[in-house]
Structure 1
């Protein structure tokens, strides 16, 4: 195998949602003379599987799985040992390359006759979609030789101390014996020695790397004692200077950068724990005294004052300075709070009083769709908790109109009432398929589980930012503040897990349990199917088509996409259409009018979507997430996609449903009629499409999702205790035809529609 021009080394740890984008940005470059060394640093998520998939699909990818987690620096070292390229490029696994950038790097290396180091620029990309080029990009346009040393163009040492904005000639790195140390801030003792040692440096004035600014999850923004590693790293830098007298001239500049680095870490509230700040300051003072250059001149202004306080070891004064600045910020915050108070947005006093009481360790709250009662995943979890965790009292949030629909004996609270506020203040466990109101805070020790309410085809969370029609004025800051309360987020497949992590950049852990509401599809019997059909009034022997369209963001009111009465007439007497309108459109005249049709049953107000699915022989869907749930039943699905282009443009989608459908697709009503009348809706092609769809999207739904969640959250049992049953070993509830075949004729059912 020939030696590649560039070895791209990607250390990987807990980035399953970002890794494919990173690897794709490398492999899809126009310049292909590369190897990608993907170093799985014993990542606990699915990064190892992703790496293996890429290595299998592209021979340029070489997978390295470390037996234990060694940290970023040593993972890079492991990748270097495998590298065969002329140049080394260290790319972090949540960042990406801009299109065409590797070709520009290769061209610049050739133009400058293979320098030891090539420096290029980057841009910060933010979770809301913003992008900002490096604020010091002007250094690339300063005057100086094209190929230079750090002494000749020291301005390049003012750039961010990172390893990934450069490529390094491998022979140069090996000759000098450079390697990464363990610990945080490992780029520091690499960047400075490498640049000070290089005889030939070149620059490329181009944004090569998109440096992802993760809202949460950045390891350096984690409160930990690990930030003390910075002292060891600078000791390594100055030991390198001490090893070569010719480097002495760098001491003052690096000393100043070191103190600035200490100040930057102390300035952040999400770095050094409060109880360790005095100790950190003392070590900063020790390094100041130890490495202070002769004749050093401090910076001017506030920065110089902080330098002086560290030099004197005056931590109380340093803190006083910080508190004074914080005080000014607090005054501004108080003014804003006062305005909110005047506007009527003060937290309810009853809630504040309840917050003073201890958390009730055996109290759980279940809420669905802003208080729509006993439905979806929270309802399934409530039922399972009553069975296997009866010591935890469950309370369901229900609006007044939903109370009568609750199962007998269900404890409930009505939103906005005093008891509702008391329960929300004191409960230990919270389960919701949307979000609780802004007013509520997450108390220490409480557990919030976001259950979600479907597999996402359409864009969600911050991914709605480019789609203002669908976002409808969403305050994304508040949305993320609400989502910050989540401890866990339930998922039914890997596809969803990765989307939830990106769409809601918060610090929750994925709970890959399957959707609790779908348990019923594996636990229901033939008797259940017959009972539900009888209750709905479906005549025996009829084929029930469940039509469940989703909401259109590009319309302001209900606009029928399908003439349901015409469809029913086309299907004939052997069929009945169950019309399930989206809950946004309940009680519209168009839906009520359908009740006049003998072949259409309006089931919009039926509480349980799962029961409707059990009763249906076939699902007629558009872009609703119900298709992912219904696929568990392994019954035919037909997609009606008359406005797919308008839908995906106005809402945004995560994959092309036209390329990965669960069954046949109709783009017009006439095509839809043909699919049913010809019998294509249940042919071999339909079965094959559904099988592929099920394997991707029904990954964890095996009838035991509720139990997994309750055992893990309330009983503290490990997730591995109840492994997911392989799809081929699962047995869905019997189809209506199979259920009817297992039972004698029932005249009552046959006559139910006539009555």
Structure 2
């Protein structure tokens, strides 16, 4: 992002209240900073957010002085955060934008143009769309009404129909002198938007409209405070109480009282019908309070509206509300909903349990008590004892030995389980028992769809890499990645997570956004990488000896990843030529992705005595310890290898194809600090040149690697497994504390590397 400079007098101040939105905040800020119109400032208010939001704001402020962060010392709520931002705003206009939403391309230019055309009105009402995680985009109902206004300027008394526009503050901009001069401030509690919208609209002397879509209103699957059920939604009564007190003091506004009363009653009924706001246990109480307020505030001669709400006549619902008959209201509004819910539960239950004998067995086990000492582990779709779950397992046996760990493996892979480790074969009778009764479920991917998460069970998702390629719901935009994938089923699996383990803030942010579910992030590091900080020179020498690597040779680990747009392993490098060019004092370790079966070309090289194909080598961390340098493309191994602070070379001959077919979160070839881990090559000649010239371990490569490590080796320090075990099994949070990067000592490199001669041949290949 280029550095931009704010003018002394911004036209628009975008006020962004920020709290627990680290997965969405960058998209919000980027949508503003990438606008073609540049005369603005962003006043971003960190409402004492407990996640990384404050750091993100400071990062953006360091790059662009139009970003002005404010860090509140105590959490005060969205209304007070907006107040703090409004008081610090310097622009002619205030644009309140929620931090999980974005603004559309060209929005600020369209707003600025409309301000000029309409002569700086007090308020401009903006158009918006709703965006969903499924990539669905839904137009607002106000579009035609906003377009009909054209460039007219009016008051709410002159055009009361504009009081029907969606009553939120983010779909309008306010002239700062009008807003501050009238001392508008937000009230406590939910539904503060409605009160602010109506009060400002009724006071404004000049209102204009803009039908250009300006705000992209994100419909979050989970995490939106408005969609969390509970008594906090009863604030709606207090907000409308304040509105009508405001009207009582201004008799000249009596002409709009019936309209605002209708809006109030409609809002009450809309909220009552939402299960994600008013749970069934609170409905009768809510209805009673709504009835009381309806009767007390009803204007004389009020005429009930036409139309319907959720398929039921509005006039009938208003009548039932006035009569105070909750039983009749419930019978009319919730009967069909109840039948649909029961039917849906029956279908889901049938799908979960099924008719097979093992499902009946599973159902029986589900009735037995949970075993508090039983822990189930799995990795890479039941491929064996590996990755983060393996490191957690071994640390658990050390620190909490009374717990019993059981691994899930695929049929036929039983012999891959080390001696002394208990395991069950997936879908065997005992498998259903341990899955039903284990207190803890630990995996680096998801368990099968049919596994039911019982109340009291704890599910830890460890993941198995840092995301460069797009993940989760972001894959919907890329056919190669989304092929045969049900994103609804995927999110149903993610709904079972209690904790998500991350090794850097980048991962935390991405997982939160692409898996919009209710898990808690554990920023503890990846346990599988602990070995990189505890291994000694003797350990490195031992692994190299086991691999047959002679002293003094430079070991190059070549680990390309899978391509979604290709079937099977397709070599992207002429290994014979590469090794011939580098010479005898280099050894190339080749590791194909575990998705691939044995490759015939590698087999041919092995049969010719050029390589030893050990693609099934069980411990990739050992290969990293043995290597002096890593060559990879888009594999997450680069983030793990960065822990060792050894050279990384990115060989990406298909960057354009891969980035478009799979999608990436940053440009590996950009050369920007924090994005490129070292030297890069896009063809064989340049790759060979990187090594022959020594660029792979030169000053520029070292600088890039240092920035890459600062961004991605944040929580990996050798104690990740211990932190997980203490939190999960012992209830101790973030113990021991993460060491600062400068205080960590990775395993020593095996050799400084030999001189690369001008020409030589005969390099030995070891496929690993």
Judge same fold: TM > 0.5, yes or no: yes
Q: Secondary structure at the match of 2:187?
A: coil
More divergent stretch after superposition (378-387 vs 597-606): 597-606
> 1:222: Cα distance to partner?
0.9
Alignment counterpart, residue 710 of structure 1, candidates 725, 730, 735 = 725
Is 1:48 aligned with 2:54? yes
Please identify, of 27-36 and 358-367, the stretch whose mean Cα deviation from structure 2 is larger: 27-36
Alignment of 1:573 onto 2:584? yes
- TM-score scaled by length of structure 2: 0.92
Find the counterpart in structure 1 of residue 154 from structure 2: 148
Number of residue pairs aligned between Structure 1 and Structure 2 = 740
Tell me the alpha carbon deviations over residues 102-124 of structure 1, each in whole angstroms, 9 at most, x when there is no partner: 22212211211221111110111
The equivalences for 1:43-442 within 5 A come to 43-142=49-148, 146-300=152-306, 301-330=312-341, 333=344, 348-442=359-453
Task: Give the 3 Å change call, closer, same or farther, for CA 195–518 of structure 1 in structure 2.
Answer: same
Q: 1:308: how far off?
A: 2.2
For residues 523-602 of structure 1, the aligned pairs below 5 Å read 523-602=534-613
Cα deviation 1:354-409 (Å, max 9, x = unaligned) = 11112222221111111001011111111111111223221111123332222321
Residues 392-438 of structure 1: CA deviation (Å, up to 9, x unaligned) = 22111112333222232111111101111111111111111111111
Deviation at 1:332, TM superposition (A): 5.8
Deviation at 1:563, TM superposition (A): 2.2
The match for 1:22 among 21, 24, 28 is 28
Partner SS for 2:439: strand
Unaligned segments of structure 1, at least 5 residues = 741-752
Q: 1:143 Cα shift?
A: 6.0
> 1:440-479 maps to which residues of 2 (within 5 A)?
440-479=451-490
Q: For residues 181 and 517 of structure 1, do their structure 2 counterparts lie closer, same or farther at Cα, with a shift above 3 Å needed?
A: same
Q: Which moved more, 1:412-421 or 1:728-737?
A: 728-737
TM-score, length basis structure 1: 0.93
CA distance in 2, matches of 1:279, 1:663: 63
User: Which residue in the other structure is 1:663 paired with?
Assistant: 678
The 10-residue stretch of structure 1 (262-271 or 683-692) with the greater mean CA deviation from structure 2 = 683-692
1:347 positional shift: 8.5
Give, in angstroms, the shift of residue 346 of structure 1.
Answer: 10
Match of 1:745 in 2: none
Contact 1:148–1:199, Cα closer than 8 Å, also in 2:
yes
User: What is the aligned partner in structure 2 of residue 748 from structure 1?
Assistant: none
Cα distance change, pair 679–84 in 1 and its aligned pair in 2 (3 A) = closer
Q: Is the 8 A contact 2:123 2:206 kept in 1?
A: yes
* Cα distance in 2, alignment partners of residues 494 and 558 from structure 1: 32
Q: Distance in 1 between matches of 2:465 and 2:250?
A: 62
Do the aligned residues in 1 keep the contact of 2:320 with 2:329 (CA within 8 Å)? yes
Between 388-397 and 233-242, report the one with greater CA deviation: 388-397
Distance 1:562 1:57, change over 3 A: closer
The Cα of 1:560 is off from its aligned counterpart by 1.2
| SS state at 1:585 partner | coil
Q: CA RMSD in A?
A: 2.4
Name the CA distance, whole Å, in 1 between partners of 2:33 and 2:752. Answer: 50
Deviation string 1:587-614 (CA, Å, 9 cap, x unpaired) is 2322322323545232211111111111
**Aligned 8 A contact 1:586 1:605 in 2:** no
Which of 420-429 and 369-378 deviates more? 420-429
Structure 1 residues 310 and 610, CA gap change in structure 2 (3 angstroms): same
1:619 offset after TM fit, Å? 1.4
Q: Report what 2:750 is aligned to.
A: 736
Q: Which residue of 2 aligns with 1:603?
A: 614
Deviations, residues 97-147 of structure 1 (Å, cap 9, x unaligned): 222222221221121122111111011122232222212311113368811
494, 497, 506: which one aligns with 1:495? 506
Q: Counterpart of 2:309?
A: none
Separation in structure 2 between the aligned mates of residue 291 and residue 507 of structure 1, nearest angstrom: 39
